[in-house]
Structure 1
Amino acid sequence: MLKNGDAIEVKKIETLRSGIALNSSYPKDKLLADSQMITNACRLCENWYKKDLIYVIGSLKNNTLKKLWFIYGDCYAANKEIYEKIKDKISDGINELPGVEFSETNELGRVNKLDPLGITYLRIRGMWGMENPIKVFDYIPQINLKSEFSVNVIMLKEKYLSFPQKDINNIEQLIGLNFSIQDIKIKSPNNPAKLLDAKLLSYSRLV
């Protein structure tokens, strides 16, 4: 987390188009202080309740960074109710199995005493993942994927305009041959039929 700023989740993938492994944590549009998936040190580091979350995804080829994405969570993930509803349905179904003993857990479930000695247990974990941004945003023609190296930043227009005007001016002064800022429309993660006003900041290098 950035002090008094946004939260960042960094992911590295070894191929340009492979999925993003999130492991036991479902995708997030925002980072919430009451989340069970963060540490107390993170929760208590400052006075906060909700932070914007940036997914930073680097794609490597032969240990060389080829694509770098900065995507705000509210452009990439649905709200938490979508994922928690599915998680709770699976967990409830597991806990309704007859004839087995369960323990309280933050995972999908834990089944105890699975053998005659009662010494074996089974932890049931969710392994969440998301599609690669290349696939998620393949309907946006302004994204250049042909360059040898590229950086793409996607955020809602509202977020872009929330930055201090001085910072916006400094960023826009960089617009040139290799760097651009464009208005785009993206599908709402909560309703793909709805288009959201967003900004695409792109840098590309041919070699």
Structure 2
Amino acid sequence: MTSQRAALAAAGAHLAALGLSPGSSGNLSVREGDRVCITPTGTDLSRIDPDALSVLDLDGALVSGPRPSKEFPLHTAFYQRDAEARAVVHLHSRQATGASCLEPWSDKSALPPLTPYFVMRVGQTPLLPYAPPGDREQAERMRALPFPFRAALLQNHGPVVTGTSVRAAVETVVELEETAALLLSLGTRTARLLTAEEARELARRYESPWGD
């Protein structure tokens, strides 16, 4: 068992304890060189066995272990588009899934710049048009988007995020969930958003993708 796989199991337990992974929903992965270790299909994130992960190559072919989550194309798409990606988290968390059912704020971000922390820790978060779970074409569309991002919302489905470590991916998805909760709590009231200049300065200072 590698430290990366142990970190993945700990992350799953943490996300489940936060209530962000109802039932056996959601899937996590880590990249180890030219291999992707991903939770098997039907895995309860609170009980990930780090020694029983599915191992894929970067094209998604099963190398060893049990059948992977059907969402594996999303994971390999992120690894293919971002050489620095080392972990991917996909959840069906309530608030982010709720936000995925709304019209997007812009072409590049489903959510607006409500707080500095959303811009700093998450950045622009495109909304990918609805497709059935596990759809390879949706994953390919995400891979081919021509602007930087480390989080996306799948329409009527939920969030998927990446990070340079398991911890970074977990922090991103938690901040995304909090921002979605804030957006939904505002309802139809007009919110004061960060100005374009404020958001650009934060993105520059924290090297976060925003507006590119």
TM-score, scaled to structure 2: 0.28
Say which structure is richer in strand: 1
Bigger CA radius of gyration: 1
- If each structure's helix is expressed as a fraction of its own residues, which one has the higher value? 2
